A = this chain, B = another copy of it.
Amino acid sequence: MRNKVYPTFDDAVADVPDGASVMLSGFAGPGTARNLIAALLRQGASRLTLIANTPGRWGDGRIDGGALIEQGRVAMVRAAFTASPHPSAASPFTELYEAGEIEAELMPQGTLAERIRAAGAGIPAFYTPAGAGTETALGKETRVFGGREHVMETALPADYALIRARRADRFGNLQYHRSQRNFGPVMARAATVTIVEVDEPVVEEGAIDPDHVHTPGLFVDRIVVVPPDGIREEPPNR
């Protein structure tokens, strides 16, 4: 079987074409594949569609989806935010979006997570009460179940997923640490090609208890270990 462990982040993202849809795991930091995103930035692919919780940010020296947007590589964002999660903090993305310079699809966070899950689960559509009766449901089919209005939402797949985990074995079985998990497991299932950066060295198969695998290896295509000089997740003030 093909070796899934790649020597560098650049090798792992080398084939991402212009126009690709790319899922980025991560929630408020943890789970963000910052090293793979940095490599994608160097690689140069453009007209990307990003699927992520937020469009990210920039200007604070941290690499996330915002770095791709800042460099003009992104045509479309599908997310639970176009403005900053913290209403008092401005997001540079907001200005671009409000000025009509970039496209976005805004949806409830649970709808985002469930649409991604559906894509990896062979479920083309489902009904959710979230967003019913609101502006986000405009143009969408609605239907009443149990006396309550629901919105029909469709599966959201992607060409690539860039995710971060704590540890992988050579088969690609993954474990996440705490809040690092967030979108990783569902994105790994929903993307055609799943690329993961891991904090710890790759272990042999059998080193991870089968009961404690969070993402089975058959969903994982490429693994890169974050080297000692790679980007690590750190609290803002460290």
Q: Smallest CB–CB gap between A166 and chain B, Å?
A: 8
Given contacts A125-B126, A127-B125, A146-B124, contact A211 B210 (CB under 8 A): no
The answer, among B127, B177, B178, B181, for a CB contact under 8 Å with A126, is B127
B-side contacts of A221, CB under 8 Å: none
Please tell me the number of chain A residues within 8 Å of chain B, measured between CB atoms. Answer: 25
- Provide the residues of chain B in CB contact with A214, threshold 8 Å: 211
Binding site for B on A (CB under 8 A): 114, 118, 121-129, 143, 145-146, 150, 154, 175-178, 181, 210-212, 214
Closest chain B residue to A212, Cβ basis = B212
Contacts of A125 in B (CB 8 A): 126-127, 143, 145, 150
Residues of the B chain whose Cβ atoms lie less than 8 Å from the Cβ of A177? 211
In whole angstroms, what is the CA distance A104 to B177 when docked? 43
User: Measured between C-beta atoms, what is the minimum distance from A78 to chain B in Å?
Assistant: 19
Copy number of this protein in the oligomer? 2
> How many angstroms between the C-alpha atoms of A175 and B209 in the bound complex?
12
Contacts of A178 in B (CB 8 A): 210-211
A118 to B123 CA separation, bound complex (whole angstroms) = 12
> Which of A118, A123, A128, A176 has the largest number of chain B CB atoms within 10 A?
A123
CB distance from A145 to the nearest CB of B (A): 4
Query: With a CB–CB cut-off of 8 A, which chain B residues contact A123?
Result: 114, 126-128
Q: In the complex, how many angstroms separate the beta carbon of A92 from the nearest chain B beta carbon?
A: 34
A146 to B154, CA, bound (A): 11
Contact B145 A211 (CB under 8 A): no
A180 to B: closest C-beta gap in Å? 9
Residue contact A127 to B124, C-beta cutoff 8 Å: yes
Instruction: Give 16 new A-B contacts, CB below 8 A, not counting A124-B127, A178-B211, A211-B212.
Output: A114-B121, A114-B123, A123-B127, A123-B128, A124-B129, A124-B146, A125-B126, A125-B127, A125-B143, A125-B145, A126-B126, A175-B211, A176-B211, A177-B211, A178-B210, A211-B214
